[in-house]
Structure 1
Amino acid sequence: MVKRKLKDTFADKGPGDGMSNPPIHDFKDEEKREFRKCLVAWFKENQRDLPWRKHLTNPDIDQRAYAVWVSEIMLQQTQVATVIDYYKRWMKKWPTLQDLAKASLEEVNEMWAGLGYYSRGRRLLEGAQKVVKEFSGKMPRTAETLLKHLPGVGRYTAGAIASIAYGQTTGIVDGNVIRVLCRMRVIGANSTSQPVQNKLWSLADEIVDPDQPGDFNQGMMELGATVCTPKSPNCDLCPVQNLCLAKSMVDKNKLRNGNKLGVISRTSVPDIECAADQCELCLPENEAWDEKEGVQNYPRKSGKKAARVERTSVCVLCKKSETEELQYYLVQRSQKGLLAGLWEFPSVKMEEDDENSHHTVHEILQKSCGLLVPPSTQSMVVGEVEHIFSHIHQTYIVQSLVVSESEIDSSNIHTENGRWVTREEFSSAAVSTAMKKVLKALETSSSGKKKKKPTDTDKNQKSITSFFTKK
C-alpha cells in the first residue's frame, strides 16, 4: 500500500525549528496561538448572558467553584434553555455549598423533578455533604483532586470547574468540544473510540490558553453550541474558520467540482491527506465523504444502541377528602436504580409474556404497595402513556380507581413509602415527568377531552365521573 503524503499546502516548514509540519490531526504552534487569540476575543464579545456566569466574579473561590459545579452537572445531557430556570431556583434555595449540605434528598429530588437523570442531583448533595464534612467546606483545588473526591464528577466536569473557577490550565472535552476539534483537525473515526478520545483530550490540553483557560474553555463550548452546531453550522461566523480543515475541504471541493454537490470517494478529496498509514483517527477508507454534508461529515459516531422496550401497569388511586378535594396515592421508589427515591403511582412492571394483557388495579395495588381494596371496587381504563428515557422506551398501561375512606385500609396508607397528596402537592412533589404525563392522561380522559373507543374489557366499567357523582 502506498503511503499517503501531506500535500504541498500543508508541507511547509514549522516555525523556526526546521522540522516539517505535524500530522493534519495536530496543531502547529502558530495555529495554537492564533486559535487562542481569536477564540477568546470572540467569546468575550459574543458570550450568552447565562445565570451561572454572573457568579464568576465572586471573590470567594469556593462559591465560584460551587456555581460552576452546579451548572455543569445540570447541563449534562440537558439543553441550556431547560437548565436556566432550574439553576436559578436551585441557587435561590441553596445559595452556598453549606446550604445544600443541609438539604434532604427529598428536597433535592423535588427541586430536580422534571430535569431527568436524577442521580445527578443526589450526587451533588452527597458531594456537598462530603466537602463540608471532610474538607471543612473548602472545595478541592485542582482538576485531579476534584475528580478523585467528588461523587458524580468526571474528567470533563473536574476540568471545567478547575479552569473556569480556579484558572487552572487544563483542557476539557464535551460534546461541543468534540465537534469543534473533529472538524478543525478532520478526525473522522468514531468519536467514542479510545484512540479518538485520547487524541481529543491531548489536543484540548495543548491548545487551551494558559493565560485565560476559563474563557478559552467556555469559548470552545460556546462555539460548539452556537456556531459549530451539529446541524446547519454557520461557518461564516466562526472566529477560527481559517484553521478549520473540514471547512478547507469543503471550499476546495466546491472549487474543484464547480460547486456541484454529490458524494465523492474518500481518496478523491484533494489537498488534505494524512501521512500516516491506516490512521486510527481518519475517516474510514470504506466510508465516503458526502459533499452535501460538508463539515457535518465530522464527527462520526457509532450507531446508537436501540432503547430497551418495557411496559408497566399503573394504577392512579384516587379518593376524596373530607373537604371533597381529590387526592392521589403515591409510593416511593427504591433509593437505588432508575428514578431512585422519586414518588410514583403504584406500578408493576409487565414481563415479556404479559405483552397482550395488563394487571388489574387490585393486583397492582397489592404487588406494588400491599394495599387491599374490595374486589367489587371498579376501575377505569385510561389508556397508554409513552415516555422515552435515555435507554428505555417505556409504555405505561394506565388505569384509575376511586375509593372512599371506608373502602381502603387506612392503616397501610401513611407508611414512609406511601402517602396521599393533593393535586397541588403532586405538582411540587419529587415525581418524574413520566408520572406527570400519566396524571395528565387521566385528567384529559376524565374531562372528556379525549374520547376512547371502549374495549371489551372496559365496556362494563364505570367512568371516573360516575364515581364522583355517585350518591
Structure 2
Amino acid sequence: MTDMPPAILPPASFQQRLLDWFDEHGRHDLPWQHDRSPYRVWVSEIMLQQTQVATVIPYFERFMTRFPDVASLAAADQDEVLHLWTGLGYYARGRNLHKAARVVVEEHGGAFPVHSLEAMAALPGIGRSTAGAIIAQSTGRRAVILDGNVKRVLTRLHAVEGWPGRPAVERRLWALAEHYTPDERLVDFTQAMMDLGATLCRRGQPACDRCPFEAACVAHARGEEKRFPESKPKKAVPTRATTMLLLQDRDGCVLLEQRPSSGLWGGLWSLPQFDDVEALQAWLDVHAPGSELAPAWTPFTHVFSHFRLEITPQPARIGRLDSVGEARCWYDPCDPASIGLAAPVKALLASLAPFSLTTTAGP
C-alpha cells in the first residue's frame, strides 16, 4: 500500500465535522457537565485521568456530596479524602487534589486562577492539558488540550510515527491540537475531542465506520489503525513479594499503619508489611511479644503499572502491645473508620471475620 502524506485538514473543516458529530452523538449529560464550575470540572478531570467515565461517575457524585466546594475539600483531613478515593486507584491524584485545594484557598483566595494557563498548570497534579481542559470547560475561553484520547485521535488521523511520550512526537501533537482548536464553542469542542477518542477512536477496536474523519484518516487509509499510537517501549515487569500482617486483638480489631506520604500507597492505611515471615516474627517478638501466628492465607497478586506485588496475608493473634505508635491504629472491620485504604488491604479487611489459629483460607 502506498505511503500517504499526513495532510493537515483546514481547521474550519475539522471543527465542523467534529461538532456536527458531537451534536448528534456526543455525551451531553455527564454529572460534571451540570453547573460547570472550575471546581467541579477540575475534580472530574483529575478523576478521569487513566480512568473510564463509567467508573468515575459514582465516585464524583459521592465526592461532590461530601465536598461541594473547594473550601470544604481544603478543610478536610487527608484521610477522609483518600477514603472517598479508595478503589479509584492512582492515589497520588487524590493527594494532589487535596494539596491543590489548599493552595487555591490559601494562595488564590478560594478562586481557581482560570485567567492563567500557567497558574492553573502550576497547581499540584495539574499539567498543561488538564489546565487547558479546566479553563475551556468552565469558562469557554480558548485553551488547547492533549489528553490520551486526543493524542490517539491526532496520531491516527495523521499517522504520526513514534511513541507519543517522546518529546519530539509530543511537540508535533501539540502543534496539531493548536492548529485544530477553535475560538468558539470551546466547551463543546474539548468535550467532543475527548468523546471521539473514548467512544469511537478506541485503543483496541476503533469504530472507523462511524467516525466523522474516516475519509481523512491516514492510519485508516493504510489499514493501520491499530499500529497508532505506537506503544511505549516495553520493559520487563518485575515481581516483588511482601508479607502482610493481619494482627487482630481480642475484639477482632486489626492493626493498621499509615504509609509514608510519598511512594507506594502514599498516605493510605495498610497492613504492616515485611519481606518475609521471619522478619514479621522478629517484629512481633519486639513489639507484640506472645503473639501467635496462624497458618498463612493463600498468596495473591496485585498488579501496578510498573510491577506486580505478590502478597501473602499472615494472620496472628496479639499477645501484648503496649502502644500502637503515632502512625498506627486499630481498625474494626465491623465498624470501619473513614480512612483511605490501599485496595488489596480493603479487600482483605472486607473478607475478614474473627478467625481461629487454624484458619487457612483467605479472601
Query: Same fold per TM (> 0.5)?
Result: yes
Distance 1:421 1:358, change over 3 A: closer
Identity, in percent, stands at 35
C-alpha distance in 2, partners of 1:312/1:439?
17
What aligned pairs does 1:264-303 form with structure 2 within 5 A after superposition? 294-303=224-233
By how many angstroms is 1:383 displaced? 2.2
What residue in structure 2 maps to residue 46 of structure 1? 25
- Residue 243 of structure 1 is aligned with which of 206, 216, 221? 216
By how many angstroms is 1:442 displaced? 5.5
Kindly indicate whether residue 141 of structure 2 is the aligned counterpart of residue 168 of structure 1: yes
* Deviation string, structure 1 residues 321-343 (Cα, Å, up to 9, x no partner): 2xxxx211111111222211111
What residue in structure 1 maps to residue 320 of structure 2? 408
By how many angstroms is 1:400 displaced? 0.3
By how many angstroms is 1:111 displaced? 1.1
* Deviation string, structure 1 residues 150-200 (Cα, Å, up to 9, x no partner): 111111111111111122222211111111111111113222222210010
Contact map agreement 1:318 1:402 (CA 8 A) in 2: yes
C-alpha distance in 1, partners of 2:262/2:117?
28
What residue in structure 2 maps to residue 422 of structure 1? 332
C-alpha distance in 1, partners of 2:95/2:243?
27
* Deviation string, structure 1 residues 374-408 (Cα, Å, up to 9, x no partner): 16x342211212101121210112210123xxx31
By how many angstroms is 1:124 displaced? 1.1
By how many angstroms is 1:6 displaced? 8.7
Give 3-state SS (helix, strand or coil) of 1:34's partner: helix
Q: What is the alpha-carbon root mean square deviation over aligned residues?
A: 2.4
What residue in structure 2 maps to residue 61 of structure 1? none
Kindly indicate whether residue 274 of structure 2 is the aligned counterpart of residue 358 of structure 1: no
Q: Can you give the 5+ residue segments of structure 2 that lack an aligned partner in the other structure? A: none
By how many angstroms is 1:437 displaced? 3.5
C-alpha distance in 2, partners of 1:76/1:334?
23
What residue in structure 1 maps to residue 310 of structure 2? 395
- Residue 104 of structure 2 is aligned with which of 117, 131, 146? 131
Q: Which amino acid aligns with 1:241?
A: E
C-alpha distance in 2, partners of 1:235/1:337?
41
Kindly indicate whether residue 296 of structure 2 is the aligned counterpart of residue 381 of structure 1: yes
C-alpha distance in 2, partners of 1:108/1:213?
31
What aligned pairs does 1:159-238 form with structure 2 within 5 A after superposition? 159-238=132-211
Kindly indicate whether residue 12 of structure 2 is the aligned counterpart of residue 33 of structure 1: yes
Kindly indicate whether residue 46 of structure 2 is the aligned counterpart of residue 67 of structure 1: no
Q: Can you give the 5+ residue segments of structure 1 that lack an aligned partner in the other structure? A: 8-23, 57-63, 251-293, 351-356, 448-461, 466-471
What residue in structure 2 maps to residue 469 of structure 1? none
What residue in structure 2 maps to residue 340 of structure 1? 266
- Residue 287 of structure 2 is aligned with which of 359, 362, 371? 371
Contact map agreement 1:126 1:151 (CA 8 A) in 2: yes
Give 3-state SS (helix, strand or coil) of 1:396's partner: strand
C-alpha distance in 2, partners of 1:364/1:386?
24
TM-score scaled by structure 1? 0.71
Paired positions, count: 357
* Deviation string, structure 1 residues 282-327 (Cα, Å, up to 9, x no partner): xxxxxxxxxxxx4212111232333332111111011232xxxx21
TM-score scaled by structure 2? 0.91
By how many angstroms is 1:100 displaced? 0.9
By how many angstroms is 1:210 displaced? 1.2
* Deviation string, structure 1 residues 337-370 (Cα, Å, up to 9, x no partner): 221111111212x2xxxxxx6326432446xxx6
- Residue 431 of structure 1 is aligned with which of 341, 344, 358? 341
C-alpha distance in 2, partners of 1:428/1:126?
19
Contact map agreement 1:382 1:442 (CA 8 A) in 2: no
Q: Which amino acid aligns with 1:210?
A: D
Contact map agreement 1:101 1:129 (CA 8 A) in 2: yes
Moved more, 431-440 or 226-235: 431-440
Distance 1:177 1:170, change over 3 A: same
Kindly indicate whether residue 257 of structure 2 is the aligned counterpart of residue 331 of structure 1: yes
What residue in structure 1 maps to residue 238 of structure 2? 308
Higher relative contact order (CA 8 A, sep 6+): 2
C-alpha distance in 2, partners of 1:343/1:158?
30
- Residue 463 of structure 1 is aligned with which of 334, 358, 361? 358
Contact map agreement 2:83 2:340 (CA 8 A) in 1: yes
C-alpha distance in 1, partners of 2:6/2:283?
58
Give 3-state SS (helix, strand or coil) of 1:359's partner: helix
